[in-house]
A and B are shown apart, each in its own frame.
Chain A
Amino acid sequence: MLALYLRDLSLSIRAGGGALTGIIFFLAVVVAVPFGVGPDLNLLSRIGPAILWIAALLACLLGLDRLFQADREDGSLDLLVLSADRHFLALTVLVKCLAHWTGSVLPLVIAAPLLGLFMNIAPVGIGAAMLTLAVGTPAITFIGAVGAAVAVALPRGGLLISVLVLPLTIPVLIFGVSASYGAVHDPDPFMQPFLILAALTLFLAVIGPVAAALALRHGAD
């Protein structure tokens, strides 16, 4: 299993892995916002965490279609499914999700504080946004894995995955943003939405891989 994690991670880092695509997209969206809404620093700092979260959500969706499709194209997916008796297939999916998250999404979390400065977010707010992103984005990957598994046989499945997955990620977005706000705006709570966000991630870490494994098993042809 560790071998699978390391292989997927090194594939995402090497040429053609697409790990950079997500970061550049994230950067582009966040940098474009101040030009769009104007240089009102108060407004920017108010909407900043939400912009970071929306940009991260979209950047997460960007690379999801390759999660299983790359393996399917070169035949590896068959062998991963075939060894389901040795390695529980849902666990294989979980490991692939974690490798995908580490390779493609963790860089976004690390880049978030820098982009938070562009949005004039207070230091506490930047810390909160980074923390909520780190806790919440795995949930998006786990939901996305289900979409990626369902659409694995489709040649241009990327858009379909985004359409399938986006509505399901809305709760993650809501609690992620409200926790980020809660850290900065005093009467709003931070802990409650943050804990719900963590619970969502843990819940989806179980449901997502199991559902994706089912879809993969029955989607083979």
Chain B
Amino acid sequence: MRLIADELGGERGGESVFSGIGFTLGVGEPLTVTGPNGSGKSTLLRVVAGFLPVAEGRIALEGGGEDYPTVASACHYLGHSNAMKTALTVVENLAFWRDFLGETDRDLPVSEALEQVGLGGIGHLPFAYLSTGQRRRAAIAKLLVAHRPLWLLDEPTAGLDKASEARFAGLMQAHCAAGGMIVAATHLPLGLEGARELRMGFKERTVIAGGIC
């Protein structure tokens, strides 16, 4: 299975944010996307996931077979928000996503996923009672309760402490070792060994007589 981006360009509100991005990601390979604020890291992830239309070039998943015909069907998207309901408990939230997203026998049970992110004892609490870092860890547990080969992570370690960062790095290594792929947009080092880096920069604009061409 390979994720291929070819001369990929994305835009927001009709204005080009990035263009000419190309990478190929094979099985077991992580890719970190770095760059200054506003360089289009999040937009790139959203274009890859298919939330935003591809402005130019192409993004494709090859060799996904019947299980994963498209990028969207093969990926987990962990955005800035955690996609959890504050009124439900952590276990209820995860059990819902496990039911809704999961289908393979590689899905972890909810309790085991919580153990893996170090939230073993607090599954019964409403999500609203959790701290920022704990919420992020619960959202990371969501990646484990339903198996997807491709993880699209947008600032995944925001709010995590050192120990949790290390634990998450271990989870990502394990995911790659099991044949997964990761595209992570980040400012912080993720502790991923052998990760390739995609640097994004501001797209050059030429200003002529006050107008943007």
Residues of A whose CB lies within 8 Å of any CB of B are 1-4, 7, 10-11, 14-17, 73-76, 78-87, 220-221
Chain A at the B interface: SS class: helix
Give 12 pairs: A residue, B residue, CB < 8 Å, sorted on A: A7-B96, A11-B87, A15-B87, A17-B87, A74-B81, A75-B83, A76-B85, A79-B83, A83-B72, A84-B72, A85-B70, A221-B12
- Stretch of B45-53, B188-196, B201-209 lying at the A interface: B45-53
Number of B residues near A (Cβ < 8 Å) is 30
Contact present for A7 and B88 (CB under 8 Å): yes
Q: B82: CB under 8 A from chain A?
A: yes
Top 9 A-B residue pairs of the complex, sorted by shortest distance between their CB atoms: A75-B81, A3-B99, A85-B73, A75-B83, A220-B51, A76-B83, A14-B87, A7-B96, A3-B96
Closest residue of chain A to B50 (Cβ to Cβ) is: A82
As a 0/1 sequence over residues 48 to 90 of chain B, the CB contacts with chain A under 8 angstroms (1 = contact) are 0111100000000000000001101101010111111111100
Closest residue of chain B to A14 (Cβ to Cβ) is B87
Q: With both chains docked as a complex, state the minimum distance between the C-beta of A4 and any C-beta of chain B, in angstroms.
A: 6
Contact of B88 among A11, A79, A81, A86 (CB under 8 A): A11
Asked whether, in the complex, the Cβ of A86 is within 8 Å of the Cβ of B73, the reply is yes
The smallest C-beta distance from A219 to any residue of chain B, in angstroms, reads 10
How many angstroms between the C-alpha atoms of A80 and B77 in the bound complex? 11
Task: Give the residues in chain A near B81, CB-CB below 8 Å.
Answer: 73-75
Q: How far is the CA of A15 from the CA of B49 in the complex (A)?
A: 33
B85 neighbours in A (Cβ, 8 Å): 7, 11, 74, 76
Whether B101 is near chain A, meaning CB under 8 Å from some CB there, is: yes
Residues of chain B within 8 A (CB-CB) of A220 are 46, 51-52
Asked if B79 and A75 sit within 8 Å, CB to CB, the answer is: yes
Determine if B105 is an interface residue (Cβ-Cβ < 8 Å): no
Asked if B103 CB lies within 8 Å of chain A CBs, one says: yes
Q: CA A3 – CA B110 in complex, angstroms?
A: 15
Residues of chain A within 8 A of B100, CB atoms compared: 1, 3-4, 80, 83, 87
A221 CA to B46 CA in the complex, in Å? 8
Residues of A within 8 A of B49 (CB): 78, 82
Q: How long is the Cα–Cα vector from A87 to B97 in the complex, in angstroms? A: 13
Query: Bound state CA distance, A84 and B84, in angstroms?
Result: 19
Cross-chain contact B96 with A82 (CB below 8 angstroms): no
Quote the shortest CB–CB distance from B87 to chain A (angstroms). 5
Q: Are B87 and A16 in contact (CB under 8 A)?
A: yes
Q: A7-B88, A11-B85, A78-B51 are in contact. List 16 more A-B contacts (CB 8 A).
A: A2-B99, A3-B96, A3-B99, A3-B100, A7-B85, A73-B81, A74-B83, A75-B79, A76-B85, A80-B100, A82-B77, A83-B72, A84-B72, A220-B46, A220-B52, A221-B52
Cross-chain contact B87 with A86 (CB below 8 angstroms): no
- In contact, B96 and A4 (Cβ under 8 angstroms): yes
Residues of B with C-beta under 8 A to A221:
12, 51-52
Tell me whether A79 and B69 are in contact in the complex, defined as CB-CB below 8 angstroms, given that A74-B84, A220-B52, A221-B52 are known contacts. no
| Docked pose: A108 CA to B86 CA in angstroms | 26
How far apart are the CA atoms of A80 and B96 in the complex, in Å? 12
Q: How far is the CA of A78 from the CA of B84 in the complex (A)?
A: 12
Known contacts A11-B88, A15-B87, A75-B81; A85/B69 CB under 8 A: yes
CB contacts (< 8 Å) of A78 on chain B: these are 49, 51, 77, 79, 83
B79 to chain A, nearest CB (A): 5
A-side contacts of B46, CB under 8 Å = 220
Once the chains bind, are B101 and A83 in contact (CB under 8 Å)? yes
Q: What separation, in Å, do the CA atoms of A121 and B123 have in the docked complex? A: 51
Closest chain A residue to B51, Cβ basis: A220
- Known contacts A3-B100, A74-B81, A74-B82; decide if A81 and B51 are in contact (CB<8 Å): yes
Q: How far is the CA of A163 from the CA of B99 in the complex (A)?
A: 36
Tell me the nearest residue of chain B to A80, going by C-beta.
B100
Interfacial chain A residues near B86, Cβ < 8 Å: 74
